[in-house]
Amino acid sequence: MKNLKMSLAAMLLVGSLAYAQHDHKKMKTSHKMGEKKMMVNQGHDMKTEAILNDYFNLKNALVNDDGKKAAQAGSKLAISLKAFDMKAYTAEQQKELIDIIEDATEHAEHIAKSDIGHQREHFKTLSVDMTDLVAITGTKHTLFEQFCSMYDKGSAWLSRSNEVRNPYYGSKMLKCGKVQKEIN
Amino acid sequence: MKIVKILGLVLVAAFVVIQFVPTSLNQSDVISTEDFMSTYKVPQQIETILKTSCYDCHSNNTKYPWYNKIQPIAWVIEDHVKVGKEELNLSEFGSYSKRRQKSKLKSIGSQIEDGEMPLSSYALIHRDAKISEDEKRLMVEWINKIIDSL
């Protein structure tokens, strides 16, 4: 009985120590991210392209059914999104951009810590955000909006190529979908 | 044997000491105008489900169980509520942008549909928080209707 009590107390203590440590760690990482933000300081076009790059890496990972790579791309995308600079835009555009960036960042962060099924769910809404972002910022490259009518009552995504490679189904239905629109 | 005894005493003492570490309670007297219930026209049934199964961790008002008086359990609960509110705060839902509301509604629907929310550890203790299959269907249908109207 005594032993039981003691081990119980030990568990509680270890648990509470681990908890305190956990909080401490969180603070450290947020500090690091702040530094990174300062370093990236180029034109706003570059920042849009960086966001799109990460988005396409994410898309390609999903096409390849690679949840691990998709997660990595997701966390990179979250960082690029936070670094987005909207000074060059009108007040009205900025209002819209703030909403887009905020929403997209949340999706990217979730993609960074989810299994592939959830990653694809978030990728759908993220793709809407990206399409709306590009509509305001424009981009140097030609993009293709593609559409798959099967996934979740119909879902779109962006691609740099006009060949369809489906990020929602990957190898299961790689070529399912069609080009819906050419952007730029 | 002596060492074990001393160690045990130290741990017991530590347990007693941590009982005095204060925790902040997630309770607010302010009736938020941004609350989910004032943002949409919510049917009574849906409101009941949300209030019993979601609001403890996803709003500014938690109904605490008696064991919230014991450390380190209170810390675990505090952390759950903090993370839960960061993810989704139904007390402030109306302050979210339309875009974010839509995203959140979608996530709420899919989490409920997949049975991932409410957390099984939470539903295990709060038996009434468990969402039945019928309630699930009702919720998901209603949420989809709201999303389509946005």
- The pLDDT tens digits for B36-76 are 999 999 999 999 999 999 999 999 988 888 888 888 888 88
- CB contacts of A13 in chain B (<8 Å) are 11, 14-15, 18
pLDDT at B127: 85
In sequence order, what are the beta bridge partners of A182? A144
- CB contacts of B14 in chain A (<8 Å) are 9, 13
Q: In sequence order, which residues have a C-beta less than 8 Å from that of residue B42 and are 6 or more positions away?
A: B36, B50
pLDDT at A41: 37
| Ranges of chain B whose pLDDT falls below 50 | none
Structure-token pair, residue A72: 């990595």
Q: Does the pLDDT value for residue A109 go beyond 80?
A: yes
CA distance A29 to chain B (A): 17
Q: CA dihedral defined by A122, A19, A6, B25, rounded to 10 degrees? A: -90
CA distance A57 to chain B (A): 22
The reported pTM is 0.77
Judge contact between A112 and A82, C-beta under 8 A. no
Higher per-residue confidence, A5 vs B57: B57
Higher per-residue confidence, A112 vs A21: A112
- Chain mean pLDDT for chain A: 82
Q: Do A12 and B75 touch (CB under 8 A)?
A: no
Q: Can you tell me the distance from the alpha carbon of A51 to that of A132, in angstroms, rounded to the nearest whole number? A: 13
Q: Do B75 and A16 touch (CB under 8 A)?
A: yes
CA distance A21 to chain B (A): 13
Beta strands in chain A (DSSP E): 143-148, 155-159, 178-183
Q: Do B103 and A13 touch (CB under 8 A)?
A: no
pLDDT at A126: 97
Q: What angle do CA A16, B61, B141 make, to 5 degrees?
A: 110
Q: In sequence order, which residues have a C-beta less than 8 Å from that of residue A13 and are 6 or more positions away?
A: B11, B14, B15, B18
Which residues of B sit within 8 Å Cβ distance of A? 4, 7-8, 11-12, 14-15, 18, 71-72, 75-76, 79, 97-100, 102-103, 106-107, 110
Q: Do B12 and A125 touch (CB under 8 A)?
A: no
Q: Does the pLDDT value for residue A30 go beyond 60?
A: no
CA distance A103 to chain B (A): 6
